[in-house]
Structure formats: C-alpha cells, structure tokens
Amino acid sequence: MERNSGILLPISSLPSKYGIGTLGREAYRFADALKAAHQTYWQVLPLGPTSYGDSPYQSFSTFAGNPYFIDLELLTAEGLLDRRDLQKVDWGESPRYVDYGKIYTSRFRVLRRAFEKGYPRDRAAVDEFIQGNRWVRDYALFMALKSRFGMKSWLEWEDREIARHRPAAVARYEKLLEEDIRFYIYLQYLFFRQWGKLREYVNGLGIQIIGDLPIYVAMDSADVWAEPEFFQLDSDNRPVEVAGVPPDYFTADGQLWGNPLYNYDRMKADGFGWWIRRVEGASRLFDVIRIDHFRGLESYWAVPYGEKTARNGRWRKGPGMELVGVLTSWFHGLRFIAEDLGFLTSEVHKLLEDSGLPGMKVLEFAFDPREPSNYLPHTYTPNCVCYAGTHDNETLLQWEAGATEETLAYAREYLGIGQETPLNWAVLRAGMRSVAGIFIVQIQDYLELGAEGRMNEPGTTRGNWRWRLLPGELDKALIEKIARCTRMYGRG
C-alpha cells in the first residue's frame, strides 16, 4: 500500500445555498482544495436516499443515490429549472446545519418541476439508464408506493398483496403509479449523471473516492421488500431477529439497530449473487469501499424482533471468508477497507488476516493509560488505515475536553509534548508520521472544531448528520498548512 492521506467530508456537509451539500460547484471546489493540500483520498459517507432519522446508514435502497444531492444550479444551467423555482423556498435558516424537515418538504417539489421539463427531452437516455441499472424499477415502484401509502413502512401498507411483492399486485401498481415511477427513475438518472461527472473530475486530479458500504440494509427499503428471500423473515415477511451490537463499556443496553439479518444459507446457494450485485453497484460510485462493521461477517449479534434494547441478543456465525473471498476475487480492480472496530475476537482477527484487507486504527482510542493499546501508532503495520476519529466519534477538541487528566497526561507523554503544545495537532502529526498506508482526517479536526462539529453520536436518533462546512471556511492558509504536514511526512 502506497503512503497517502485524505480527508473525510460527506457530500451533505458541503456548502450550498439550498440547505444541504450537493454534487455541484462546491464539490468541485473541495476536490480542488484536496489537490492543493496534496491529498490522495476523499472519503464520503453512504450516498443513498435517507429515511427516518436521516442516517445515511438507513437508506431506502442500497443501490440508489440521494435526490437531495442533485445540484439545483446545474439543473438551472441546463434549462430544467428557472431561477424563480429556487426563490422564496425555505431551505433552512442555518448554513452550518442541515434542516432535514425543510429539505424534505421543499426538495421534491422543485425536482418535480425539473422532471416535467427534462423527462420528455431525456427519455431515450433514461431508457438506456434503466437497462444498465435493473434495480431502479423496483426502487422507483417502492418509492411511488411509499408516497401513495403516506410514506409508511412497507410493513404497514394496507394492501398486503403489494406489501408481499406479489407479481399480480406489482403489475397493477406499475400501471396505476406509472407517472410517479417515471419521476423517481428520472431522479436517479440525474443523480448518477451528476455523480459520474464529479467522479471523473476528482479522479482526473489524481484523487480517489472512499465510500462506505453499510453491512446491513434498512428494513424499510426496496432491497428487503423486493427480495425478501435473502433475509431472515417469517411467512408475513416480518423479521425474526434484527441487527445490533451487545452491551459494552460505552452502552449498557448495547445498540439496537433494527436492520433485518441476512439469510446467508439462501445467499450462499445463490453464489452470493446479491452481494456481488451490491458491491458492483458501489463500485460505480467509489474507487475504494470501506466495509462497515466487518466483524459482523465473522459473527453477528442477533436480537429477537420486538425487543426494546440489544441486551437479549445472541452471537450467530457469519459467512466469513466464504463471502469475503468471493468479493475480493470477483472485483480484481476494486480495493476494500475493513472497518474492524468493536468487540473483536481471535476469529475476527483471523478473518482480517486471511482476507488480506487493511483494517482501521483510530487515534482517539489509543491513549488509555490503564492498558496497552494496539491503536498506538508504534504498533501499526503499513497495511492499515489510520483515522484521527471517524464520523461516529467526537472531534479531537471535543475528545480532549472530555478526557480524564490521566488520559491527557499519558497522551502528552507518548507524543513527547508539553502543555504549551496543542494536543490536537500533535495527534494529527502522529497519524501523519505513522507507518499506516493511509491516514484520514475529518475536516472538522483540521478546522479545530469542538462539540459543534460532531457528525454522529451512535445510539441517538436526533440531531445527527447535520454538520456542514461554511463557505470559505477551508481557506488557503489551512490548505497550505495541511499540505506542509502531508509533504513533511511523505504522504503527498
């Protein structure tokens, strides 16, 4: 693995005048900033359409793109929108935080206008898009049905025949909801057209995009609704057990994620074709794929459906190298990162070793004075990816503010710095000079933000995924500072 570095910034966190980051001008500007800062990677979060809670890890589809990210300025430039369509729309009051309620209310009304102008013009190109993306028909029907049934989960749809994806019901609703289906397909056409141009530009700068592949899909998704046979569901297509993680030092009740669990026996009988299609879809978005919750492929925590916490779950064996080997051998030109955080056993360590994939090291986990840590930089090998912190962690300044005196003293002693030296930049330099093949930093840590910059707090469902970069905040002075640090430690 070559020695490089990158920055983590979700698409939603880009600046824009329309409430949330998009695939337009500011995305290209950020790519230029990465190039000027001598970075090799841009890491983003999952790009799928979000549901209740606004988490990119709970998407209506593992294949689809988020319509919120379609850039409205680009649509205006090609005549699909008028400037007046964008005026007098309440996109939210704060340029710092996304107001998802207002985005949900306003975005689709504006995009419907673009559809009405653009679909007749682009129909041939849309038909070609459908041929290359077979999943899009099921997704578009699913979203049209959700709209018809008041956006309720498909488990609660009044028509149980379509909830069970019966062929006769599917054919009937395809005719009934034809116009809405075209609308949702067209949004995917627009998203992938804009994403393709952005990715081409980013790659042309010598920068690769790292994207997350959540290990699970959402229960309320086109994926589960359209192909229930690949999930652990009962005769009424309701889950038997759901995903989570057990209680630990941080969470007494564990984390109850609620995602349906896979029917790995059925998937194996199909040659893991569902996973192959899923990763092929992700490869159209990303150059490097981070497999979220990698340890769940060795064994996973299964919680009976209906439980209020994750306490009463059990460990069940996962597919291990049978699945990992299929993916790494099938996609020769695609690179993977294993998110090997959480409760790790010797079996998980062996799976990582057998896979040959680089695992993750998080510096915020390193400085525990009570016991040695394999997150300390001197323990690394080149075949790993070091993070100062991830989107699920506190910012470095927030971590420092909440750490014990013993932890801070140990960190300063390990890093060889006194009280007069800023600890946050010492931690960043430690990651830069480590032997880890790749070093990734949240942009919030380069900006030296505190709690106001945190992206997500696991185990909570409100107030997450909202943080945004302000226009001009990543200025030339900071870009040059990042570039100097990157060059000094041979990463760019």
What's the whole-number mean pLDDT along residues 193-219?
98
Structural domain contains residue 114: no
Which residue of the set 339, 340, 364, 400 is catalytic? Answer: 339
Instruction: List Cα–Cα distances, 209 to 30, 270, 470, in angstroms.
Output: 13, 30, 22
What is the predicted pLDDT for the residue at 332?
85
What's the whole-number mean pLDDT along residues 38-43?
98
pLDDT of 153-162, one tens digit each? 999 999 999 9
pLDDT of 78-103, one tens digit each? 999 999 989 889 999 999 999 999 99
Phi (first) and psi of residue 164, to 5 degrees = -90, 5
pLDDT of 248-261, one tens digit each? 876 889 999 999 99
Phi (first) and psi of residue 365, to 5 degrees = -90, 0
52: number of CA atoms within 13 Å, CB side? 10
What's the whole-number mean pLDDT along residues 322-332?
94
Structural domain contains residue 322: yes
Is there a contact between 211 and 282 (Cβ–Cβ < 8 Å)? yes
Helix (H) or strand (E) holding 119: helix 100-132
| Known catalytic residue at 339 | yes
**Does the structure show a pLDDT above 80 at 215?**
yes
What's the whole-number mean pLDDT along residues 329-358?
94
Is there a contact between 218 and 209 (Cβ–Cβ < 8 Å)? no
Strand partners, 418: none
What's the whole-number mean pLDDT along residues 426-441?
98
Structural domain contains residue 227: yes
Arithmetic mean of pLDDT over the chain: 96
Structural domain contains residue 72: no
Helix (H) or strand (E) holding 260: strand 255-260
Structural domain contains residue 421: yes
Which residue of the set 241, 292, 298, 340 is catalytic? Answer: 292
Cα dihedral: 481, 375, 247, 57 (round 10)? 40
What is the predicted pLDDT for the residue at 88?
85
Structural domain contains residue 318: yes
361, exposed or middle or buried, with CB in 10 Å at 0-12, 13-18, 19+?
Answer: buried
How far is residue 412's CA from residue 417's CA, in Å, rounded to a whole number?
5
Q: Greater confidence, 85 or 272? A: 272
124-138, 424-438, 451-465: the lowest-pLDDT one:
451-465
Tokens 């107001």 -> residue: 99
How far is residue 367's CA from residue 424's CA, in Å, rounded to a whole number?
13
Percent pLDDT > 70 in the chain is: 100
Number of domains in the chain: 1
pLDDT of 284-314, one tens digit each? 999 999 999 999 999 999 999 999 999 999 9
Is there a contact between 89 and 102 (Cβ–Cβ < 8 Å)? no
Tokens of 88: 């007098």
Percent pLDDT > 90 in the chain is: 93
What is the predicted pLDDT for the residue at 429?
98
Tokens of 456: 């997500």
Which residues form the domain of 328? 4-48+194-488
- Kindly indicate the confidence band of residue 333, based on its pLDDT and cuts at 50, 70 and 90: confident
How far is residue 475's CA from residue 123's CA, in Å, rounded to a whole number?
42
How far is residue 9's CA from residue 12's CA, in Å, rounded to a whole number?
8
What is the predicted pLDDT for the residue at 301?
97
- Kindly indicate the confidence band of residue 462, based on its pLDDT and cuts at 50, 70 and 90: confident
Is there a contact between 64 and 187 (Cβ–Cβ < 8 Å)? no
90, exposed or middle or buried, with CB in 10 Å at 0-12, 13-18, 19+?
Answer: exposed
| Known catalytic residue at 292 | yes
- Kindly indicate the confidence band of residue 357, based on its pLDDT and cuts at 50, 70 and 90: very high
**Does the structure show a pLDDT above 90 at 450?**
yes
34-48, 120-134, 243-257, 271-285: the lowest-pLDDT one:
243-257
Structural domain contains residue 292: yes
Structural domain contains residue 41: yes
Instruction: List Cα–Cα distances, 459 to 185, 232, 251, 310, 423, in angstroms.
Output: 33, 24, 8, 11, 28
What is the predicted pLDDT for the residue at 372?
85
CATH number at residue 318: 3.20.20.80
Which residue of the set 159, 307, 392, 473 is catalytic? Answer: 392
What's the whole-number mean pLDDT along residues 147-151?
97
How far is residue 43's CA from residue 11's CA, in Å, rounded to a whole number?
10
Please name the residues in contact with 413: beta carbons below 8 A apart, sequence gap of 6 or more. none
Whole-model pTM above 0.95? Answer: yes
| Known catalytic residue at 287 | no
